[in-house]
Amino acid sequence: MDILSIESSCDETSAAVVRNGREVLSNVIETQIPIHIQYGGVVPEIASRNHLLKISSVVDEALNKAGITIDDVDKIAVTYGPGLVGALLVGVNYAKGLAYATGKPLVPVNHLLGHLSSPLITYKDLKPPYMSLVVSGGHTYLAKVLDYTTVEIVGETRDDAIGEAYDKVARTLGFTYPGGPKIDKAAKIGDKNKVTFPRVYLEKDSLDFSFSGIKSAVLNYLNSAKMKGEEVNPDDVSASFQEAVLEVLVEKSIRAMEIYDYNKIVIAGGVAANTRIRDMFDKKSKELGIEVYYPDFEYCTDNAAMIGCAAYFLPSIENPLSLNANPGLKL
Ligand code: KG4
Ligand code: ZN
């Protein structure tokens, strides 16, 4: 089963060919980061226009790299939400057109289920059930993965997503978009004990998160240091911020595993590329004997391979032309 998959929910135009849900024959990612960097974040209208410019060549390249033609493809899969509506529509309409013209089945895929499926590419024997932590620019979820397509949320952010917190704090420190990787790098040389930022656990036993307070805490720290004429070291602030948010993420993940009696956890989404989150989970894995799975770095941030992987287990829709983008789609 060869699936041609398309992803355009944010600022990556991507197409992939995935065989039997696990073997990636090609995964072409055309990132728009250099375009959005000057605005400090993704500009939706510019994102849609650039998806439109690139989508056709990205799909052709994915087929070429896989060494197949559109005739050899068994199904077409596409991200239909959540994401930026204009960006999603480019991929959705392209996939609909392709499905209609070729008569191939069309499989709509939830972007978040795509992220959750990304470790399956790396770990060929990994099978649900497992606990999962989805940490991306737009989402933060703790969810039980019951089987390949059934997910039950047990905790989520009540305000900002974790990646959003990284990006916002990075901006206040003068780092360019996307800030996550820059904070990750700066934190390696910074002192994580320099500033004690609040750890937000919410109510006792809650598996929910809140990350909007920490950006104000960082901003307050920067302003008060400025007023006192103290020098601020962005590496130390990065390390201290990161420690505060990741400590909560890891603690709550472990708590969720204990409550629901899971021994395996999958970490997915852009922030799963973070080196400190991996260190922390690896330490817990040794201490507690739990199994922790991450996607390869290539499959952490947005890519079409994870969409093709998820699509393998999902049904196609009867009438491809009926598909619409759903920007607020839930996990
Ligand atoms: O999954 P993704 O590509 O897009 C969404 O679906 O949102 O995630 C992008 C997010 C951005 O907020 C980016 O700053 C963050 O992932 N990110 C990181 C790292 N690499 C990407 N955050 C922390 N450390 C990293 N190494
Ligand atoms: Zn994503």
3-state SS of the chain?
A: CEEEEEECCCCEEEEEEEECCCEEEEEEEEECHHHHHHHCCCCHHHHHHHHHHHHHHHHHHHHHHHCCCHHHCCEEEEEEECCCHHHHHHHHHHHHHHHHHHCCCEEEEEHHHHHHHCHHHHCCCCCCCEEEEEECCCCEEEEEEEECCEEEEEEEECCCCHHHHHHHHHHHCCCCCCHHHHHHHHHHHCCCCCCCCCCCCCCCCCCCECCHHHHHHHHHHHHHHHHCCCCCCHHHHHHHHHHHHHHHHHHHHHHHHHHHCCCEEEEECHHHHCHHHHHHHHHHHHHHCCEEECCCHHHCCCCCHHHHHHHCCCCCECCHHHCCCCCCCCC
Q: What is the pLDDT of residues 237-260, one digit of tens each?
A: 999 999 999 999 999 999 999 999
Protein residues whose CB sits closer than 6 Å to any atom of ligand 1: 10, 136-138, 163, 166-167, 178-181, 184, 269-271, 273-274, 301-302
Q: Whose Cα sits closest to atom 22 in ligand 1?
A: 180
CA of 247 to the centre of ligand 2 (A): 22
Contacts of 251 (CB under 8 A, 6+ apart): 201
Burial class from Cβ neighbours inside 10 Å (0-12, 13-18, 19+) for residue 142 reads buried
Mean predicted lDDT score pLDDT of the chain: 97
Q: What is the pLDDT of residues 270-303, one digit of tens each?
A: 999 999 999 999 999 999 999 999 999 999 999 9
Nearest protein CA to atom 13 of ligand 1, as residue:
180
Quote the pLDDT of residue 120.
Answer: 96
- Find the 105 Cα to ligand 2 centroid distance in Å: 24
| Residues 72-93 pLDDT 10s | 999 999 999 999 999 999 999 9
Q: How far is the CA of 206 from the centre of ligand 1 (A)?
A: 25
* Residue 108 confidence (pLDDT) above 90: yes
Least Cα distance to 113 among 89, 78, 86, 84 occurs for 78
93 CA from centroid of ligand 2 (Å): 19
Point out the ligand 1 atom lying closest to the alpha carbon of residue 184: 24
Mutate to test the pocket of ligand 1, among 157, 166, 215 (most ligand atoms within 8 A of CB): 166
Q: Report the atom number in ligand 1 closest to the C-alpha of 164.
A: 12
For a mutational test of ligand 1's pocket, the pick from 301, 306, 329, i.e. the residue with the most ligand atoms closer than 8 A to its C-beta, is: 301
- Ligand 1 atom, smallest distance to 163 CA: 12
Q: Which two tokens stand for residue 108?
A: 């709509």
Report pLDDT digits (tens) over 37-69: 999 999 999 999 999 999 999 999 999 999 999
**Which ligand approaches the C-alpha of residue 139 most closely?**
1
Q: How many CB atoms lie within 10 A of CB 326?
A: 16
Q: In this predicted structure, what is the pLDDT of residue 309?
A: 98
Q: pLDDT-derived band of residue 142, with 50, 70 and 90 as boundaries?
A: very high
Whether residue 331 is predicted with pLDDT greater than 90 in this model: the reply is: no
Q: What is the mean pLDDT of residues 181-187?
A: 98
From ligand 2's centre to the CA of 124, what distance in Å? 22
* 132 touches 266 (CB < 8 A): yes
Confidence tier at 195 by pLDDT (50, 70, 90)? very high
Neighbours of 17 (CB within 10 A): 27
Residue type, 210: S
How many angstroms is it from 189 CA to the middle of ligand 1?
20
Q: 312 alpha carbon to ligand 1 midpoint, in Å?
A: 25
CB 108 within 8 A of CB 317: yes
